[in-house]
Amino acid sequence: MKRAAFRLQPVLDLRRTQERAAALAAAEAARTATEADRRAADREQSLTTSRVPASAPASAFLAVMATMHSAAEDAAGARSVAIATAEQAEAVRAQWTAAAQRTKGLERLRDRHREALLHAERTAEEKAVDDLVTGRAGRALPEGRALTGDEVPWTG
User: What per-residue confidence (pLDDT) applies to 62?
Assistant: 85
* Residue 151 DSSP label: -
Report domain extents, the chain: 10-110
pLDDT tens readout for residues 40-97: 999 888 888 777 777 778 888 888 888 888 889 999 999 999 999 999 999 999 999 9
- Compute, in degrees rounded to 10, the torsion defined by CA atoms 132, 133, 136, 138: -110
Q: What's 32-96 look like in SS3? A: HHHHHHHHHHHHHHHHHHCCCCCCCCHHHHHHHHHHHHHHHHHHHHHHHHHHHHHHHHHHHHHHH
Helices 9-49 and 58-138 cross at an angle (nearest 10°) of: 160
User: What per-residue confidence (pLDDT) applies to 133?
Assistant: 82
Lowest mean pLDDT among 10-19, 63-72, 121-130: 63-72
CB 28 within 8 A of CB 34: no
Confidence at 30, pLDDT banded by 50, 70, 90:
very high
Q: Which amino acid is at 8?
A: L
User: What per-residue confidence (pLDDT) applies to 78?
Assistant: 93
User: What per-residue confidence (pLDDT) applies to 2?
Assistant: 62
Which among 95, 89, 94 has a CA at the least distance from the CA of 33? 89
Global pTM?
0.65
User: What per-residue confidence (pLDDT) applies to 26?
Assistant: 97
Percent with pLDDT over 70 in the chain: 85
User: What per-residue confidence (pLDDT) applies to 6?
Assistant: 86
Q: Which amino acid is at 76?
A: A
User: What per-residue confidence (pLDDT) applies to 87?
Assistant: 96
